[in-house]
Structure 1
């Protein structure tokens, strides 16, 4: 295991990068399922109880499928913080000349989500952009509910 503070920070960033990539993958797969009239919650439930039976896919999978991105006090990592970490990963990769094309995609997805005013929501709210990009008819109502709940 890493010993220096710099190495420990890179391990932390690597873990957060993997979580962000899992959220994005869940978002895209859910958008694809939904675009073919497959219930996104049933789809994610199936995936997270079979081939992706683990904490990250279960927890963030539920948030992505239900479009539940409220900042709960006991389970919340703000999108703004996720964006900072993804940017740090991208910078560290550039410094080391280590290609990370998914980090570039994630950085852009997080910035677009921040530009949409979602920085204070849970970082799983980046999933809303995948639904919007796919032309989801259901995402607009979910966004209205989130914005209403977040502004209260």
Structure 2
């Protein structure tokens, strides 16, 4: 298939490489031109604008950081929306707000275009292995057309419903669970340390006894052995928590734990940890908050 790919950052680049390896023809664009060089070496074609990425494409994927980036790329000058033909398919893999997902659904319907929300679960190393888990929502016809594009990227696909907003809501809810897991693990590590127990020993014992979870093991390892390059940053965690709270508020729902997490992320940013790894940053704030001021 001919695929346009917009956004070749930490997640987008390994995803695009998987599509090239699967034999798809890719036309790629990124705001920072140097980011597309690894893809060009593998046979991708450079697009000068987001609109150019659509030329002759069977589908266009967006994998951009936040709502602002999506707004600019989709609706700005030489944006994707005006370039898409009726019947064209847009696959939104970004983690965006439910509100923007609803706007995109309405815009695509007005223009007679197909739209699938397909946010992904997994860090960059998981994307490199083609083992992302993808949650999708959209019409049956749109999802059927998107599957050959998404399958080389994933170890599994969950169909959430017919409304694209539902997939983006699941992604925000999943990231909320990751944040809460990291926070509870951070505070448990702080407790273990206060009792003279090595966090690594605590993690092995509790995970073996209670959870048998590769997520606890993987995130615990990141927290105790910070990576040279952040897989996902505190900024990203803060953004997703804000989007979750906004989506909840739009349905007259309050999530008190999410409110607490928002405060923790704010403290992390004030401490200069905005670009620190998500898990490492939360652990460091838990350590700072643990000191009793008697």
Same-fold status (TM-score > 0.5):
yes
Structure 1 unpaired stretches of 5+: 137-152
Larger radius of gyration: 2
RMSD after superposition: 1.7
For residues 13-52 of structure 1, give each alpha carbon's deviation from its aligned partner in whole angstroms, at most 9, with x where no partner exists. Answer: 0000000000000001111111121111111122223312
For residues 27-78 of structure 1, give each alpha carbon's deviation from its aligned partner in whole angstroms, at most 9, with x where no partner exists. Answer: 01111111121111111122223312112211112223x1525425xxx111
Q: What residue is the counterpart of 2:291 in the other structure?
A: 135
Q: 2:229 aligns with which of 57, 66, 71?
A: 71
Matched, 1:90 2:248: no
Q: Are the counterparts in 2 of residues 69 and 123 from structure 1 also a CA contact under 8 Å?
A: no
Q: What residue is the counterpart of 1:62 in the other structure?
A: 221
Partner Cα distance (2:263, 2:270) in 1? 10
Q: What residue is the counterpart of 2:208 in the other structure?
A: 49
Give the drift of 1:99.
2.4
Compare the two structures and name the one with the higher strand fraction.
2
Q: Are the counterparts in 1 of residues 182 and 219 from structure 2 also a CA contact under 8 Å?
A: yes
Greater RCO (Cα-Cα under 8 Å, separation 6 or more): 1
Deviation above 4 Å: which 4+ runs of structure 1? none
Q: Are the counterparts in 1 of residues 245 and 254 from structure 2 also a CA contact under 8 Å?
A: no
Q: What residue is the counterpart of 1:101 in the other structure?
A: 256
Structure 2 unpaired stretches of 5+: 1-159
Partner Cα distance (1:12, 1:83) in 2? 14
Partner Cα distance (2:243, 2:228) in 1? 24
